[in-house]
A and B are shown apart, each in its own frame.
Chain A
Amino acid sequence: MHVDARTLPDPSLIEGDICVIGAGPAGISIALEWANTPYSIVLLEGGGDHVDNRYQQLLRGDSVGQRYYPLETSRLHYFGGTSGHWGGLCSPLDPIDFSKRNWVPDSGWPITYEDMRVYFSRAEQKLELGHGFDLETWEANDTSLKSLPLDKNTICQKAYQFSPPTRFGTRYHEAIEKSKNITLYTHANVVGIDASESLKTITQVRATNFEKKKLRVKARYYVLACGGIENARLLLCSNHQMKTGLGNPYDVVGRYFMDHLEVVCADLMMPTASNLKLYLLDLYITKVRAELAASGTKQAELQILNGSISLMVKNKNNQANIDSFSSDAETNVKMWNQLDRQGSHYDDVTTLHHSMATIKKWYHALHPFALRFSLFMRMEQAPNRHSRIFLNNEKDELGMNRVNLDWKFTPLEKRSMHLLCHLLGQEMGRTGLGRIRLMEWLVNLLDESWPSTLGGGWHHIGTTRMHEDPRKGVVDSNCKVHGIANLYVAGSSVFTTSGAACPTFNLVALALRLSDHLKENFTRLDNKHLPL
């Protein structure tokens, strides 16, 4: 069911079993897991069915550290969330990302890669992915895909699959509307969370909209799924009972903000054109792409972070993402919708892939001078307590304090970029495939400056991180907020480290894991068996 909260009486009280706050990939994934169960799910979305710049302005804030995208457009405030302008890139985190690395401060998740792996296939279904993440399987299924002969003990080649991309708002709107036990409330912006006197349970959440209609929601369990910045913001703003905000006795909420450092870091020059179809991207056509990363062994040996390099055909007109990103969310989403419509016509092209001659003709038509490549780096950010979002004094139109972002790095990021390029250059030299030339800013490790082209990936990670110690994390290994029995957090804000992989696939897998945990809770409490 779908209810526009602007049409409800003022005030209104809604009751349910689970209240999911935020209808992006995490929130929708959780809600749908409860379809056709005896439990009522209240799914709250602050925006409407379409992007509206007035709602986007609720997300406005200042960036006071490293240059960042406008906060009001790097995430989307409508049904479907930031999947509305997502590129579709999917890959799981690596086992090393979960482990305690003594060269990475505050690393080490309280769960393992194996705890996540069991949810990968379900996440693949939600994101409409294909044949898994084993490159050899993709190569076996498509002989036009050939990997480079690099030593896997030095450079590992990771498969990144491309979702169509799944626009959660479009793809799952009908399923939500038709569900008898899931009720979606749009235009229901949660502006406060109320707890019991002991602060050990949540009693209700309060929502409103531009029409100033007031809405209270009471549920047995609450799940924050508003995104990496808004999850923290909501906890910090719920400070009428605890000054530091809910779930924040040790000042961890909002800290450890991480995004991937994304930048062109080097050029790769090859003496002869090779079949590099596996490494290049054509939007809406490419189903899998290989990226190059240091092996876990080499990361430990060199004490570097996890990073990933992709190839881009060198083009003088390549504009850095951070310079090309518009501050108008409506225009951005319209552009993506138009690209999506064009991309749907490429299905006919994929059928031509059976013909090798056609592949070559198409490939060379698009990449006639594929001997020079830009190496695009996506580097993990080390957890840094001083990189954070925090409340500022300005209030938005609904009365909530806005946030500032202070994006900060450590020297480890640049050192890791340099050494990863060094490793790749070494492998290119060893195999005779080509030569790498570092960008000038990456040559001297003593120089801590960054180029203006450095941007993030719109990946807002770590602000309600997972850790068993409440002094170092906001949620436990089940994503439950420390000290509060019925409040959970979903999304990339719970990641302990960022890894090199884009977060969407992993946050969906974690959301499904959280949903299973809640089902186990209900099974235990109500003696009702719920299928996982």
Chain B
Amino acid sequence: MTRRTFIGIVAGVAVVALARCYFWWRKRRLPNDIIGIAALPQLLSQVAAEEDIKEIANAVKPEPCSIFDECDLTAVILKDVPESVYSPVLYPNKLMSILADKVQLEFQQNKIKIVNGWILSETEVMQCQSYAWLSDNS
């Protein structure tokens, strides 16, 4: 093994480790009730049965290897949301409103997925998955 190759491998491992540490650090900061709020696909939950939401979650293809549980998903769902909104838990209604706006914006941007025939936004699909995980673990 050349020195260049060795340095390359070490650098790659370091990047992955740092990324995992970051995600671990971030998710440990998310309170459970925030995870719960973020897991609710608001409009969809008003028109679809719980079974439909779980079926959507089951029908979705496996996520990238950096997503292991609902905490990881919530971090992705909230990645564009300012932390001041949800940490500490001061503004749950505002968080819900921001997520609802995010979903509507995704429709406008055609960030859409069709799952089991449902025409949904990308965030809604993640919310269904998160909801299903939470339901399984409760």
Count B-side interface residues using an 8 Å CB cutoff. Answer: 20
Whether B118 and A432, one on each chain, are in contact in the complex, defined by CB atoms closer than 8 angstroms, is no
User: How far, in whole Å, are A431 and B108 apart by their CA atoms in the complex?
Assistant: 9
Q: Which residues of A contact B (CB under 8 A)?
A: 266, 269-271, 371, 421-422, 425-432, 434-440, 442-443
Residue of A nearest to B43 (CB): A271
CB B78 to nearest CB in A, in angstroms, measures 20
User: How far, in whole Å, are A194 and B100 apart by their CA atoms in the complex?
Assistant: 71
Return chain B residues, CB-CB under 8 Å to A269.
47-48
- Residue B13, interface by CB 8 Å: no
Return chain A residues, CB-CB under 8 Å to B43.
271, 432, 434-435
- Residue B117, interface by CB 8 Å: yes
Return chain A residues, CB-CB under 8 Å to B106.
429
Residue of B nearest to A440 (CB): B117
Whether B47 and A430, one on each chain, are in contact in the complex, defined by CB atoms closer than 8 angstroms, is no
Whether B47 and A271, one on each chain, are in contact in the complex, defined by CB atoms closer than 8 angstroms, is yes
Whether A429 and B114, one on each chain, are in contact in the complex, defined by CB atoms closer than 8 angstroms, is no
Contact with A along B36-63 (1 / 0, CB 8 A): 0000000110111000000000000000
- Residue B112, interface by CB 8 Å: yes
Residue of A nearest to B41 (CB): A435
Residue of A nearest to B121 (CB): A429
Whether B117 and A437, one on each chain, are in contact in the complex, defined by CB atoms closer than 8 angstroms, is yes
Return chain B residues, CB-CB under 8 Å to A438.
114, 117-119
User: How far, in whole Å, are A437 and B114 apart by their CA atoms in the complex?
Assistant: 9
Q: Which residues of B contact A (CB under 8 A)?
A: 43-44, 46-48, 100, 103-104, 106-108, 110, 112, 114, 116-121
When A269-B48, A270-B47, A435-B48 are in contact, do A429 and B112 touch as well, CB less than 8 Å?
A: yes
CB B122 to nearest CB in A, in angstroms, measures 11
Q: A426-B107, A429-B121, A439-B117 are in contact. List 16 more A-B contacts (CB 8 A).
A: A271-B46, A421-B119, A422-B112, A422-B119, A425-B119, A426-B110, A426-B112, A429-B104, A429-B107, A429-B119, A432-B100, A435-B43, A437-B119, A438-B117, A438-B119, A443-B116
CB A355 to nearest CB in B, in angstroms, measures 31
7 contacts between A and B (CB under 8 A): A269-B47, A271-B46, A422-B112, A426-B107, A426-B108, A430-B104, A437-B118
Whether A430 and B119, one on each chain, are in contact in the complex, defined by CB atoms closer than 8 angstroms, is no
Residue of B nearest to A271 (CB): B46
User: How far, in whole Å, are A314 and B87 apart by their CA atoms in the complex?
Assistant: 43
Return chain B residues, CB-CB under 8 Å to A371.
47
When A422-B114, A430-B107 are in contact, do A436 and B119 touch as well, CB less than 8 Å?
A: yes
Return chain B residues, CB-CB under 8 Å to A270.
47
Q: Which 9 A-B pairs have the closest CB atoms?
A: A425-B119, A429-B107, A269-B47, A271-B46, A438-B117, A430-B107, A437-B117, A430-B108, A436-B119
When A429-B112, A430-B104 are in contact, do A435 and B118 touch as well, CB less than 8 Å?
A: yes
